[in-house]
């Protein structure tokens, strides 16, 4: 794919980068950047999210992207990749900021995801020399760009020593709103998030929490659940929407026969109504 180069001060969308610490003079990119400034939200977090972290990341990214919000992240494993994928699934735009030079994509396992981002109308960008390999400090440097492109930052799951907190520090320095998903107080993966909440970060449990602050005109007034094709499908959908995620618990609460229940779960997944999180955990799409 063709690599393009632009100066942030010449781009209406990326002009916000001219006001951050160490503003880049030029950036390389593959794909397409918005021609005008669009509301953007960065979603970042751990590279090894729990089932809970995967679920909330996908839900927030999908819901925001489906409402026209550009999703920005770093194309790393874990939360970053989930956020990009959810935005693509929602038919929205997403932008990835690399910690290495184009056209390489590191980690290489996310090469296809980078291609999908471009095909969807988004972009993969980098401030580093072409073909330059990633280095540990590059990821910390690029975090200022992830935060800089966004109007707000969401942290869905992060430990106390997570590099994600470096992105939060850049966001604070840039005067950006920081939203944090509260987590289990016994989970090390939520320790960083809960610490940020103690320090005054905003709580986010729904996409509306973000839009109410940065784009109140985009907030929808109602969430409509999908309809099941039969009574059991509707029951399972209702249970998941109310917080039941475990397959065994869903089976017990639905009072269905195991064979019928398994068949119904499969049909709901094939129709795109529900999505597997792994370890027999389920969520609505």
The string of pLDDT tens digits covering residues 125-151 is: 999 999 999 898 998 999 999 999 999
Name the 3-class secondary structure at 44.
strand
Which of 173, 197, 218 represents a domain boundary (last residue)? Answer: 218
In tens, the pLDDT along 206-218 reads: 999 999 999 876 5
Residue 251 sits in the same domain as residue 132: no
With 0-12 CB in 10 A as exposed, 13-18 as middle and 19+ as buried, what is 216?
A: exposed
**8 Å CB contact between 6 and 127:** no
Please give the pLDDT value at position 24: 96
Give the separation between CA 283 and CA 108, rounded to whole angstroms.
28
User: Domain span at residue 88?
Assistant: 7-218
Residue 193 covered by a domain: yes
* Any domain includes 225: no
Same domain? For 183 and 251 the reply is no
pLDDT per residue over 9-54, tens digit each? 999 999 999 999 999 999 999 999 988 899 999 999 999 999 999 9
160 pLDDT tier (thresholds 50, 70, 90) = confident
Residue written as tokens 């026969």?
257
Kindly state the average pLDDT of the residues 143-166: 93
Say how far apart CA 94 and CA 80 lie, in whole Å. 11
- Does 183 fall in a domain? yes
Asked if residue 148 and residue 240 are part of one domain, the reply reads: no
44 and 176 in a single domain? The answer is yes
151 and 268 co-located in one domain: no
- If one compares 52 and 226, the residue with the highest pLDDT of the two is 52
Report the interhelical angle of 164-173 vs 191-198 (nearest 10°).
20
One domain for residues 136 and 40: yes
Q: How many domains does the chain have?
A: 2
| CATH code (residue 264) | 1.10.10.10
- Dihedral angle computed from the Cα positions of residues 197, 201, 207 and 208, in that order, rounded to the nearest 10 degrees: 110
Q: Do 244 and 201 fall within a single domain?
A: no
Same-domain check for residues 174 and 207: yes
Residues 42 and 146 in one domain: yes
Determine the pLDDT at residue 113.
97
- 72 and 179 co-located in one domain: yes
For residue 121, give the CATH number of its domain: 3.40.50.450
* Cβ contacts of 235 within 8 Å, gap of 6 or more: 228, 254, 256
Please tell me the pTM assigned to this model. Answer: 0.79
Region 219-245 average pLDDT:
73
Whether 199 and 272 map to the same domain: the answer is no
- Give me the pLDDT at residue 271, please: 86
- Same domain as 118, residue 246: no
Burial class (CB in 10 A: 0-12, 13-18, 19+), 85: buried
Residue 80 covered by a domain: yes
- Strands, E assignment, 61-192: 70-73, 94-97, 123-126, 152-155, 177-180
Q: Which of 218, 241, 275 lies at the terminal end of a domain, its last residue? A: 218
pLDDT recorded at residue 129: 95
Domain edge (last residue) among 168, 197, 218: 218
């Amino acid at each position: 794919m063709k690599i393009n180069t632009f100066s942030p001060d010449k781009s209406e969308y990326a002009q916000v980068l001219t006001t951050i610490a160490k503003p880049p003079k030029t950036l390389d990119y593959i794909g397409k950047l918005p021609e005008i400034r669009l509301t953007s939200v960065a979603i970042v977090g751990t590279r090894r999210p729990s089932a809970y972290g995967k679920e909330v990341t996908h839900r927030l990214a999908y819901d925001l992207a489906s409402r026209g919000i550009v999703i920005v992240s770093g194309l790393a494993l874990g939360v970053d990749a989930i956020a990009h994928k959810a935005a693509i699934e929602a038919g929205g735009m997403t932008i990835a900021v690399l910690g290495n030079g184009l056209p390489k994509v590191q980690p290489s396992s996310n090469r296809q995801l980078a291609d999908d981002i471009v095909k969807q109308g988004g972009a993969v960008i980098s401030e580093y020399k072409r073909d330059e390999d990633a280095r540990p400090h590059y990821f910390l440097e690029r975090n200022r760009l992830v935060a800089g492109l966004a109007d707000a930052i969401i942290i869905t799951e992060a430990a106390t020593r997570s590099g994600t907190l470096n992105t939060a520090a850049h966001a604070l320095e840039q005067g950006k709103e920081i939203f944090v998903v509260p987590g289990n107080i016994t989970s090390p993966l939520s320790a960083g998030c809960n610490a940020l909440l103690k320090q005054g970060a905003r709580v986010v449990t729904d996409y509306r929490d973000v839009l109410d602050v940065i784009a109140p005109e985009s907030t929808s007034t109602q969430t409509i659940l999908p309809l099941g094709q039969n009574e059991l499908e509707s029951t399972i959908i209702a249970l998941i929407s109310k917080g039941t995620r475990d397959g065994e618990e869903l089976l017990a609460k639905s009072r269905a026969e195991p064979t019928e229940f398994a068949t119904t779960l499969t049909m709901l997944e094939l129709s795109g109504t529900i999505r597997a999180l792994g370890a027999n955990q389920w969520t609505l799409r």
